[in-house]
Amino acid sequence: MKKIIVTGGSGFIGSNLVNFLIKKKYFVINVDKLTYASNKKVHFDKSSKFYKFYKLDLNNQKKIIKLIRKYKPRAIFNLAAETHVDRSIDGPKKFIQTNINGTFNLLEVLRYLKRKKITPKLIHISTDEVYGDIKKNLRSRENDKYEPSSPYSASKSGADHLVKAYCRTYNLNAVISNCCNNYGPYQFPEKLIPKMISNIFNNQKLPIYAKGKNSREWIHVLDHCEALLKLYLKGKSGESYNVGSGLNMKNLDLVKKIIKIFKNLGVPIGNKVKITFVKDRPGHDFRYALNSNKILKELKWRPKINFEKGLESTIKWYSENKKFLNQISKKKYEKRLGLIV
């Protein structure tokens, strides 16, 4: 049976990837240290012969080596990361420890195991934010220079550079996915889409940074999972692949679309549900946009999920899983983050 390790497999993208791979009949080993945003109650089939979970930190090299030696996986999908930009502004240290040091430790483990003839392919998951602000009508290509603006994107940039350096210097087998904004089930409700959905359900204001004109490219998480499987099966070692849908939308337009879908579904909208513009965060990039021609042409991948249908199904999922959404009501998640005082 083909064995796969997913680091950060209890996070948003990770939990969707774990379930996706199990359905594809892979044996999945989920390695996660279970931080605040982990999906501890995600519906993995824990009785499945295709699934194992280990609570581990990537910075624990000895235990990671032992685990890889035990299972000898064909691939490792590295999704272990701190991802919330506002949190990186408040406290960059965790982002350096997890995103850079964690990746470095995993690469050191793979370098060591290569001498023992254990050579899983590494699929390192990164972000479009490493490219920084993109001018209107332009789209980032894989060979564009990195211009990160936040501690988060800087930490992901550093990790990407380490992966490429280890590929070239030590001939490790690794590829990088630079993906646009994901949406779908199991996303922690401090991110834009689940936060807006949560606030509508709870009859609260809908806060949007600045004037809501910042533009982001959106892809359903399951389309991203399909792309990651392609990278494992066909991705060329040492290469980066942009993974995007080609669909850009201003944040204000996105929130208006969410409200419209709620109305179309017949969900009552409370009198406190109003779009409110709030102070922008420092260094906020205006626009991200990817050119994904490389993965489209070379690996024959393309997104399948229509945005409006995907957004509607996402709203329905959160409607049926309000306990998950209500995590945001805890006091420690209510405080506005990402402001310099």
- Tens-place pLDDT, residues 250-288: 999 999 999 999 999 999 999 999 999 999 989 899 999
The Cα 156–Cα 168 span in angstroms is: 19
Report the share of the chain in percent with pLDDT over 70. Answer: 92
- Tell me the pLDDT tens digit for each residue of 2-31: 999 999 999 999 999 999 999 999 999 999
Q: For residue 327, what pLDDT band results from cuts at 50, 70 and 90?
A: low
Q: What is the pLDDT of residue 331?
A: 45
Min mean pLDDT across 233-237, 251-255, 317-321 is at 317-321
Give the range with max mean pLDDT: 77-91, 214-228, 321-335.
Answer: 214-228
What is the mean pLDDT of the segment spanning 88-98?
Answer: 91
Kindly state the average pLDDT of the residues 311-331.
83
Q: Is a pLDDT exceeding 60 seen at residue 193?
A: yes
- Rounded to 10°, the helix 192-201/251-264 angle is 40
The confidence band for 83, taking pLDDT boundaries of 50, 70 and 90, is confident
Mean pLDDT of 125-137: 95
- Residues acting as catalytic residues: 128-129, 152
DSSP class of 290: B
Q: Is the pLDDT of residue 221 over 90?
A: yes
Q: Give the helix/strand (H/E) hosting 152.
A: helix 151-170
Cα distance between residue 273 and residue 145, in whole Å = 41
Average pLDDT of the residues in 82-95: 88
pLDDT at res. 41: 58
Q: Are strands 121-127 and 174-179 parallel, antiparallel or unpaired?
A: parallel
The pLDDT confidence band at residue 84, using thresholds 50, 70 and 90, is: confident
Among residues 173, 9, 1, 3, which one has the least CA distance to residue 71?
3
- The residues, ordered by sequence, that sit 6+ positions from 86 with a Cβ below 8 Å of its Cβ are 190, 281, 337, 338
What element of type H or E holds 181?
strand 181-183
pTM for the predicted model, two decimal places: 0.93
Residue 69 has pLDDT above 50, yes or no: yes
Overall size of the chain counted in residues? 341
Query: Using CA atoms, how far apart are residues 227 and 299, in angstroms rounded to an integer?
Result: 9
Which pLDDT score is estimated for 141? Answer: 98
Distances (CA, A) of 211 to 152, 197, 334: 23, 19, 21
Please provide the distance, in angstroms rounded to a whole number, between the alpha carbons at the two ends of the chain: 54
Highest mean pLDDT out of 34-43, 92-101, 119-128 = 119-128
Closest CA to 105 of 18, 163, 151, 35: 163
Please say whether the beta carbons of 48 and 92 come within 8 A.
no
Q: What's the pLDDT score for residue 329? A: 53
- The per-residue pLDDT for 324 is 81
pLDDT for residue 333 is more than 60: no
Give me the domains of the chain, ranges plus CATH numbers: 3-186+219-247+288-305 (3.40.50.720)
What would the mean pLDDT of 81-99 be, rounded to a whole number? Answer: 90
- Computed over every residue of the chain, the mean pLDDT equals 92
